[in-house]
Amino acid sequence: MAGLAESGSNPDVDLLYDINGLAKEAPHWFDRLIGFVGEYGLLLAMVLLVLWCWWGVRRRGGEGAASSVAALIWAPLAAALAVLVNVPIRGFVARPRPFVDHQGLDVLVAGKTDYSFVSDHATLTMAMAAGLFVAHRTFGLIGLGLALLEGFCRVYMGVHYPTDVVGGFALGTAVALLLSPLAAALLTPLTKAIERSPRAGWLIHARGAGAAKCAVPGARTSSPPEARDLAA
């Protein structure tokens, strides 16, 4: 992978310059905004999206609520696990940040001294998007859009090659989807136990939306939960 960074004629490097070149032409305030969004904003948006989906699931209740909440719990857990998997990958590949080997990049975030491949931000957002898609298709598609925007921002900011982002997308998706059945088998009994609890049951369904109701439209009713849309 390190060889990709050595030739300016490489498509990976050319695309890096093309995307990062947009930052040179943009107003300073816009670059500062993208720097914040790409570093913190989209990660926060992904967390809020998961919480929004959870709120909708518990408000509607139904027999599939516990399974859906289990899938939503898996989304951030999958992201954390994917980043842990990335630790040895980064050390093995040992690819320097693009601004180390290439001059003229407009780097919007300072202090990046670790290796570049694969992107933690791309891994985190895509793992959460894939995990969210397992629980709820519509929210998962929104999460996918946020993850793609995150990948674009990382290249725009000059801190990652496009292939760093693609690698992060692949890693996050693989961890979230391949381990989803195991996660559902482990987490669904836990959420069902919480659902039966007089004190903690509100985490699974709101008052007046108990499990005796019909299944939540679009929520999975089996383990692992199947991705469908919640009815409005």
Helices and strands (H and E) in the chain: how many: 9, 0
CATH number for the domain that contains residue 60: 1.20.144
Does 186 fall in a domain?
yes
Does 81 fall in a domain?
yes
- At residue 223 the predicted structure's pLDDT band, cuts being 50, 70 and 90, is very low
Average pLDDT over residues 108-117: 87
Does 223 fall in a domain?
no
pTM, 2 dp: 0.81
Look at residue 185 in the predicted model and tell me its pLDDT: 93
Chain segment 56-92, per-residue pLDDT in tens? 888 877 777 888 899 999 999 999 999 999 999 999 9
Does 35 fall in a domain?
yes
Within 10 A of 160 (CB to CB), how many other CB atoms are there?
A: 30
Does 129 fall in a domain?
yes
Taking a C-beta distance cutoff of 8 angstroms, is the pair 50, 208 a contact? no
Chain segment 124-148, per-residue pLDDT in tens? 999 999 999 998 999 999 999 999 9
* pLDDT above 70: residue 215: no
* pLDDT above 70: residue 214: no
Q: What angle is formed at CA 26 by the lines to CA 23 and CA 29, rounded to 5 degrees?
A: 100
* Domain interval for residue 127: 19-203
Domain count, the chain: 1
- At residue 211 the predicted structure's pLDDT band, cuts being 50, 70 and 90, is very low
Does 222 fall in a domain?
no
* pLDDT above 60: residue 7: no
Look at residue 207 in the predicted model and tell me its pLDDT: 64
- At residue 16 the predicted structure's pLDDT band, cuts being 50, 70 and 90, is very high
Does 40 fall in a domain?
yes
Does 145 fall in a domain?
yes
Chain segment 154-210, per-residue pLDDT in tens? 999 999 999 999 999 999 999 999 999 999 999 999 988 888 888 888 888 776 654
Listed residue (76, 79, 23, 13) closest to 48, CA to CA = 76
Chain segment 18-58, per-residue pLDDT in tens? 998 898 888 999 999 999 999 999 999 999 999 999 988 88
Q: Could you please report the per-residue DSSP string of 72-128?
A: HHHHHHHHHHHHHHHHHHHHHH-PPPHHHH-SS----S----S--SSPHHHHHHHHH
